[in-house]
Amino acid sequence: MKALLIARRELAGYLRTLSGYVVIAVILGLNGLFFNAYALGGASKRSAEVLSQFFYYSSGFTIVASVFISMRLLAEERQTGTLPLLYSSPLRDRDIVLGKFLAGLTFLGLYVLCTLYMPLLVMVHGKVSFGHVAAGYLGLLLLGSASLAVGTFGSALARNQLLAAITSAVLLVALILCWLLARITEQPLSDVFSAMSLWNQHFPPFQSGLVHVRDVVYYLVVTYVALFAATRVLEARRWR
């Protein structure tokens, strides 16, 4: 499958350049700092509460990581002039987008995997259920997947990586702030905004160790729609 070929090259690109490691190191460092200062610090808490707070902070850092990881996906190809190579090869545009996304998701997965030491510390010193950890990580991966897909769309739109990061950040903040719109509008509009909210409506259950099908479906739908839109952007570029 050509998408896997693209994903393999893209992933090797992340692993061979310093920028990928820098992104992971900085965000891991900040995540660790927040975990130590806020999740572990303060008044004594139950282990489940510490874990819940860990997932709370990690969700934010996962969104930030996905912006930085996704910004290079398509914008870099455009910036360095390698997009014609993909366009002139016997590939579907969806293979290009899917390959890029899979590489980004694997790299993001690597970052999420690196955060495992924090819940393990909680497990060693306290008592938490494996289900809570698994649900939280499933939530992080789904949230990361949706954010990365939005980032891929932003990267398809932008001329360079900086613009890609800004576009993705704006789109993600807009999706996150849908919960505020839900508060100031009336039904049925408030229900729509509430359902669209990237974090407020859909992540807290994972944070508490609960997996709802509607939340899983939401993140998968956002991922699909954003990747579909990125594919359409690539198609549209051929007409310009």
Partner 1 sequence: MIQVEGLTKYYGEHAAIRELAFTIGQGEVIGFLGLNGAGKSTTLKILGCVLLPTAGRVVIDGHDVVNNPHEVRQRIGYLPDVPPLYEEMTVGEYLAYVAQLRGVTARDTTARVGEAEEKTGLREVDGELISTLSHGFRQRVGVAQALVHKPALLILDEPTSGLDPRQIVEMRDVIRGLKGTHTVLVSSHILPEISQTCDRLLIIHKGTLVAQGTEEELGTKMGGGGSIEVEVRGDRARAVEVLKAFGAVDVGRVADGVVALTVRASPDQRPRVAQAVVGAGLELLRLDQGAGQLESIFLRLTHGQEVRA
SS3 16: helix
Residue 19 contacts partner 1 per CB under 8 A: no
Q: How far is the CB of 92 from partner 1 (least distance, A)?
A: 7
Instruction: For residue 5, give both structure tokens.
Output: 């070929």
Choose the stretch contacting partner 1; rule: CB under 8 A; options: 3-11, 101-109, 161-169, 190-198. Answer: 3-11
- What's the CA gap between 80 and 89, in Å, rounded? 17
* Nearest residue (CB) to partner 1, 16 versus 127: 16
In the bound state with partner 1, the residue whose beta carbon lies nearer, of 42 and 81, is: 81
Q: Is 9 in the site for partner 1 (CB under 8 A)?
A: yes
Residue 13 binds partner 1 (CB under 8 A)? yes
Length of the chain: 240
Sign for the pseudo-dihedral over CA of 152, 56, 113, 128: negative
- For residue 47, the tally of other CB atoms under 10 A from its CB is 16
CB of 22 to partner 1, least distance (A): 15
Contact call for residue 2 and partner 1 (CB under 8 A): yes
46-105: contacts with partner 1 (CB under 8 A): 80-92
Q: Show the tokens assigned to 161.
A: 């990586």
The rounded distance, in Å, linking the Cα atoms of 170 and 68 is 13
Q: What is the rounded distance in angstroms from the CA atom of residue 54 to the CA atom of residue 47?
A: 10
- If the CB atoms of residues 77 and 215 are measured against partner 1, the closer one turns out to be 77
Interface contacts to partner 1, rule CB under 8 A: 2, 5-6, 9, 12-13, 16-17, 80-92, 238-240
